[in-house]
Chains A and B, each alone.
Chain A
Amino acid sequence: MNNLLFDFTVDKASKTVSITREFDAGLSLVWDAFTKKEILDQWWAPKPYISKTKVLDFKIGGRRFYAMVSPEGQERWVIQKYTSISPKTNFKFFNAFADENENPELPGSEWNHTFSEQNGATKVSISIYNESLERMEKQIEMGFKEGFTMTLNYLDELLKMLSKK
Protein backbone atom coordinates (compact mmCIF):
# COMPACT_ATOMS: atom_id res chain seq x y z
CA MET A 1 0.00 0.00 0.00
CA ASN A 2 2.81 2.38 0.78
CA ASN A 3 4.82 1.98 -2.39
CA LEU A 4 2.65 4.77 -3.79
CA LEU A 5 4.52 7.88 -4.86
CA PHE A 6 4.77 10.63 -2.26
CA ASP A 7 6.83 13.70 -2.98
CA PHE A 8 7.05 16.78 -0.78
CA THR A 9 9.24 19.80 -1.41
CA VAL A 10 9.45 23.32 -0.02
CA ASP A 11 11.05 25.94 -2.23
CA LYS A 12 11.84 28.93 -0.04
CA ALA A 13 12.87 31.14 -2.93
CA SER A 14 9.59 30.76 -4.83
CA LYS A 15 7.65 30.45 -1.53
CA THR A 16 5.97 27.33 -2.85
CA VAL A 17 5.23 23.99 -1.27
CA SER A 18 4.78 21.16 -3.78
CA ILE A 19 3.14 17.88 -2.88
CA THR A 20 2.62 14.98 -5.27
CA ARG A 21 0.88 11.77 -4.29
CA GLU A 22 -0.42 8.73 -6.16
CA PHE A 23 -3.65 6.96 -5.12
CA ASP A 24 -4.79 3.45 -5.87
CA ALA A 25 -8.16 4.54 -7.27
CA GLY A 26 -9.67 5.90 -10.47
CA LEU A 27 -9.64 9.57 -11.37
CA SER A 28 -13.39 10.16 -10.80
CA LEU A 29 -13.28 8.83 -7.27
CA VAL A 30 -10.13 10.77 -6.31
CA TRP A 31 -11.60 13.94 -7.82
CA ASP A 32 -14.73 13.43 -5.72
CA ALA A 33 -12.61 12.87 -2.61
CA PHE A 34 -11.14 16.37 -3.07
CA THR A 35 -14.31 18.16 -4.07
CA LYS A 36 -17.21 16.61 -2.14
CA LYS A 37 -17.68 17.53 1.47
CA GLU A 38 -18.93 14.12 2.62
CA ILE A 39 -15.68 12.50 1.50
CA LEU A 40 -13.37 15.43 2.33
CA ASP A 41 -14.46 15.46 5.95
CA GLN A 42 -13.47 11.81 6.28
CA TRP A 43 -9.79 12.39 5.58
CA TRP A 44 -8.82 16.07 5.50
CA ALA A 45 -8.03 16.52 9.18
CA PRO A 46 -5.13 14.48 10.55
CA LYS A 47 -6.55 12.49 13.45
CA PRO A 48 -7.47 13.22 16.22
CA TYR A 49 -8.59 16.48 14.57
CA ILE A 50 -11.92 16.52 12.77
CA SER A 51 -12.75 18.39 9.58
CA LYS A 52 -16.20 19.98 9.72
CA THR A 53 -17.31 21.48 6.40
CA LYS A 54 -20.14 23.94 6.81
CA VAL A 55 -20.41 25.03 3.17
CA LEU A 56 -19.04 23.52 -0.01
CA ASP A 57 -20.19 25.11 -3.23
CA PHE A 58 -17.92 23.62 -5.89
CA LYS A 59 -18.03 26.17 -8.70
CA ILE A 60 -15.88 29.09 -9.79
CA GLY A 61 -16.52 31.85 -7.26
CA GLY A 62 -17.93 29.29 -4.84
CA ARG A 63 -16.22 28.26 -1.61
CA ARG A 64 -15.54 25.65 0.99
CA PHE A 65 -15.93 26.96 4.52
CA TYR A 66 -14.74 24.49 7.11
CA ALA A 67 -13.28 24.12 10.56
CA MET A 68 -10.51 21.95 11.90
CA VAL A 69 -11.83 20.85 15.27
CA SER A 70 -9.39 19.80 17.96
CA PRO A 71 -10.19 16.96 20.39
CA GLU A 72 -10.91 19.69 22.96
CA GLY A 73 -13.53 21.13 20.62
CA GLN A 74 -11.51 24.16 19.56
CA GLU A 75 -12.42 25.31 16.04
CA ARG A 76 -10.06 26.86 13.49
CA TRP A 77 -12.01 28.13 10.50
CA VAL A 78 -10.66 28.20 6.97
CA ILE A 79 -12.19 29.58 3.80
CA GLN A 80 -11.20 28.26 0.37
CA LYS A 81 -12.54 30.24 -2.55
CA TYR A 82 -12.56 28.39 -5.88
CA THR A 83 -10.91 30.51 -8.56
CA SER A 84 -10.63 28.01 -11.43
CA ILE A 85 -12.13 24.59 -12.22
CA SER A 86 -11.43 22.24 -15.16
CA PRO A 87 -13.50 19.14 -14.30
CA LYS A 88 -11.40 16.07 -13.43
CA THR A 89 -8.19 17.83 -14.45
CA ASN A 90 -7.45 20.85 -12.33
CA PHE A 91 -8.87 23.21 -9.74
CA LYS A 92 -7.51 26.19 -7.84
CA PHE A 93 -8.57 27.97 -4.72
CA PHE A 94 -7.51 30.86 -2.55
CA ASN A 95 -7.02 29.65 1.01
CA ALA A 96 -7.26 31.86 4.09
CA PHE A 97 -7.90 31.49 7.78
CA ALA A 98 -11.16 33.07 8.88
CA ASP A 99 -13.30 33.70 11.90
CA GLU A 100 -16.55 31.80 12.44
CA ASN A 101 -18.39 34.48 10.43
CA GLU A 102 -16.31 33.89 7.31
CA ASN A 103 -14.24 37.05 7.64
CA PRO A 104 -10.89 36.08 6.11
CA GLU A 105 -7.53 36.83 7.75
CA LEU A 106 -5.35 38.00 4.88
CA PRO A 107 -2.93 37.35 3.30
CA GLY A 108 -3.75 33.80 2.30
CA SER A 109 -2.24 31.25 -0.05
CA GLU A 110 -2.95 30.06 -3.59
CA TRP A 111 -3.50 26.33 -4.06
CA ASN A 112 -3.34 24.58 -7.41
CA HIS A 113 -4.42 20.92 -7.80
CA THR A 114 -3.74 18.80 -10.86
CA PHE A 115 -5.14 15.29 -11.40
CA SER A 116 -4.08 12.62 -13.86
CA GLU A 117 -4.80 8.90 -14.20
CA GLN A 118 -2.38 6.24 -15.34
CA ASN A 119 -2.91 2.46 -15.24
CA GLY A 120 -5.82 2.80 -12.83
CA ALA A 121 -3.88 4.93 -10.35
CA THR A 122 -4.45 8.64 -9.94
CA LYS A 123 -1.71 11.18 -9.41
CA VAL A 124 -2.50 14.41 -7.60
CA SER A 125 -0.07 17.34 -7.64
CA ILE A 126 -0.69 20.22 -5.29
CA SER A 127 1.26 23.45 -5.19
CA ILE A 128 0.73 26.00 -2.46
CA TYR A 129 2.05 29.51 -3.00
CA ASN A 130 2.38 31.81 0.00
CA GLU A 131 2.96 35.53 -0.19
CA SER A 132 5.26 35.35 2.78
CA LEU A 133 7.18 32.61 4.49
CA GLU A 134 6.12 34.05 7.81
CA ARG A 135 2.56 33.51 6.77
CA MET A 136 3.42 30.01 5.69
CA GLU A 137 4.74 29.42 9.14
CA LYS A 138 1.56 30.72 10.70
CA GLN A 139 -0.40 28.38 8.50
CA ILE A 140 1.58 25.57 10.05
CA GLU A 141 1.49 26.74 13.64
CA MET A 142 -1.60 24.66 14.16
CA GLY A 143 0.04 21.95 12.13
CA PHE A 144 2.79 21.78 14.69
CA LYS A 145 0.19 21.14 17.31
CA GLU A 146 -1.49 18.58 15.10
CA GLY A 147 1.80 16.93 14.35
CA PHE A 148 2.60 16.71 18.00
CA THR A 149 -0.82 15.36 18.95
CA MET A 150 -0.58 12.91 16.08
CA THR A 151 2.76 11.65 17.28
CA LEU A 152 1.38 11.17 20.77
CA ASN A 153 -1.60 9.39 19.32
CA TYR A 154 0.60 6.99 17.38
CA LEU A 155 2.71 6.38 20.41
CA ASP A 156 -0.45 5.53 22.29
CA GLU A 157 -1.50 3.01 19.65
CA LEU A 158 1.96 1.56 19.44
CA LEU A 159 2.09 1.10 23.19
CA LYS A 160 -1.29 -0.63 23.16
CA MET A 161 -0.11 -2.97 20.42
CA LEU A 162 3.12 -3.75 22.21
CA SER A 163 1.39 -4.39 25.51
CA LYS A 164 -0.82 -7.02 23.86
CA LYS A 165 2.18 -9.07 22.84
Chain B
Amino acid sequence: MRRDVFQAIADPTRRAIITLIALHAMTPNAIADNFNTTRQSVSKHLRILTECELVKQEQQGREIYYSLEIEKMKEVDKWIEQFRKIWETRFNQLDKVLSTIKKQKK
Protein backbone atom coordinates (compact mmCIF):
# COMPACT_ATOMS: atom_id res chain seq x y z
CA MET B 1 0.00 0.00 0.00
CA ARG B 2 1.19 3.45 -0.88
CA ARG B 3 1.95 5.71 2.06
CA ASP B 4 2.76 9.35 1.65
CA VAL B 5 2.34 12.73 3.20
CA PHE B 6 -1.00 13.32 1.47
CA GLN B 7 -2.48 10.21 2.96
CA ALA B 8 -1.26 11.40 6.32
CA ILE B 9 -3.07 14.73 6.12
CA ALA B 10 -6.22 13.29 4.54
CA ASP B 11 -7.64 12.37 7.95
CA PRO B 12 -8.83 15.01 10.48
CA THR B 13 -7.56 13.08 13.53
CA ARG B 14 -4.13 12.76 11.96
CA ARG B 15 -4.12 16.47 11.16
CA ALA B 16 -4.92 17.16 14.81
CA ILE B 17 -2.10 14.84 15.93
CA ILE B 18 0.30 16.66 13.59
CA THR B 19 -0.71 20.00 15.11
CA LEU B 20 -0.21 18.64 18.63
CA ILE B 21 3.22 17.14 18.14
CA ALA B 22 4.41 20.07 16.03
CA LEU B 23 4.72 21.95 19.33
CA HIS B 24 6.70 19.32 21.23
CA ALA B 25 7.35 15.58 21.29
CA MET B 26 4.64 13.57 23.07
CA THR B 27 4.02 10.04 24.25
CA PRO B 28 1.13 8.06 22.70
CA ASN B 29 -0.77 8.29 26.00
CA ALA B 30 -0.40 12.05 26.21
CA ILE B 31 -1.58 12.34 22.58
CA ALA B 32 -4.57 10.05 23.22
CA ASP B 33 -5.66 12.23 26.17
CA ASN B 34 -6.57 14.92 23.63
CA PHE B 35 -9.04 12.75 21.76
CA ASN B 36 -12.30 11.05 22.53
CA THR B 37 -11.25 7.96 20.60
CA THR B 38 -9.62 4.81 21.93
CA ARG B 39 -5.89 4.56 22.48
CA GLN B 40 -5.91 1.80 19.93
CA SER B 41 -7.25 4.18 17.31
CA VAL B 42 -4.62 6.80 18.16
CA SER B 43 -1.94 4.11 17.90
CA LYS B 44 -3.23 3.21 14.46
CA HIS B 45 -3.00 6.85 13.34
CA LEU B 46 0.50 7.12 14.77
CA ARG B 47 1.49 3.99 12.89
CA ILE B 48 0.23 5.47 9.61
CA LEU B 49 1.99 8.77 10.32
CA THR B 50 5.19 6.82 11.00
CA GLU B 51 4.80 4.85 7.78
CA CYS B 52 4.32 8.13 5.93
CA GLU B 53 7.60 9.25 7.53
CA LEU B 54 5.86 12.30 8.88
CA VAL B 55 6.65 11.54 12.51
CA LYS B 56 9.69 10.09 14.20
CA GLN B 57 9.90 8.06 17.40
CA GLU B 58 12.42 8.52 20.13
CA GLN B 59 12.92 6.28 23.11
CA GLN B 60 13.43 8.13 26.38
CA GLY B 61 13.69 5.74 29.30
CA ARG B 62 10.59 3.57 29.22
CA GLU B 63 8.57 5.98 27.10
CA ILE B 64 8.41 6.49 23.36
CA TYR B 65 8.06 10.09 22.23
CA TYR B 66 6.61 11.10 18.88
CA SER B 67 7.66 14.28 17.09
CA LEU B 68 7.07 15.85 13.68
CA GLU B 69 9.36 15.59 10.65
CA ILE B 70 9.15 19.20 9.51
CA GLU B 71 11.05 18.58 6.25
CA LYS B 72 8.47 16.05 5.16
CA MET B 73 5.66 18.55 5.63
CA LYS B 74 7.38 20.80 3.12
CA GLU B 75 6.58 18.27 0.40
CA VAL B 76 3.01 19.49 0.61
CA ASP B 77 4.13 23.02 -0.17
CA LYS B 78 6.13 21.84 -3.15
CA TRP B 79 3.10 20.07 -4.50
CA ILE B 80 0.96 23.17 -4.05
CA GLU B 81 3.58 25.24 -5.86
CA GLN B 82 3.43 22.90 -8.87
CA PHE B 83 -0.34 23.18 -8.95
CA ARG B 84 -0.13 26.96 -8.73
CA LYS B 85 2.30 27.01 -11.67
CA ILE B 86 -0.11 25.10 -13.89
CA TRP B 87 -2.83 27.66 -13.29
CA GLU B 88 -0.43 30.50 -13.80
CA THR B 89 0.66 29.10 -17.17
CA ARG B 90 -2.90 28.33 -18.18
CA PHE B 91 -4.00 31.88 -17.44
CA ASN B 92 -0.99 33.46 -19.14
CA GLN B 93 -2.01 31.50 -22.22
CA LEU B 94 -5.54 32.81 -21.83
CA ASP B 95 -4.20 36.38 -21.69
CA LYS B 96 -2.65 35.86 -25.10
CA VAL B 97 -5.80 34.30 -26.54
CA LEU B 98 -7.95 37.18 -25.22
CA SER B 99 -5.64 39.80 -26.63
CA THR B 100 -5.60 38.07 -30.04
CA ILE B 101 -9.40 37.92 -30.15
CA LYS B 102 -9.67 41.57 -29.10
CA LYS B 103 -7.35 42.60 -31.94
CA GLN B 104 -9.31 40.57 -34.48
CA LYS B 105 -12.53 42.29 -33.45
CA LYS B 106 -11.10 45.77 -34.00
Contacts and interface: CB of A to CB of B under 8 A. Distances in A.
Interface string B64-101: 00000000000010011011111111110111111101
A16 to B, nearest CB: 13
Interface stretch (A25-33, A75-83, A85-93, A109-117): A25-33
Contact of B83 (A24, A30, A143): A143
B6 interface: yes
Interface residues of A, number: 34
Q: Is the interface of B mostly helix, strand, loop or mixed?
A: helix
B93 A25 contact: no
Contacts of A100: none
B95 A1 contact: yes
Contacts of A13: 15
Contact of B82 (A19, A44, A147): A147
Given A8-B88, A24-B98, A43-B94, 15 more contacts: A6-B88, A6-B91, A12-B76, A24-B99, A25-B101, A29-B98, A29-B102, A42-B97, A43-B93, A44-B90, A47-B93, A134-B6, A143-B86, A144-B79, A147-B82
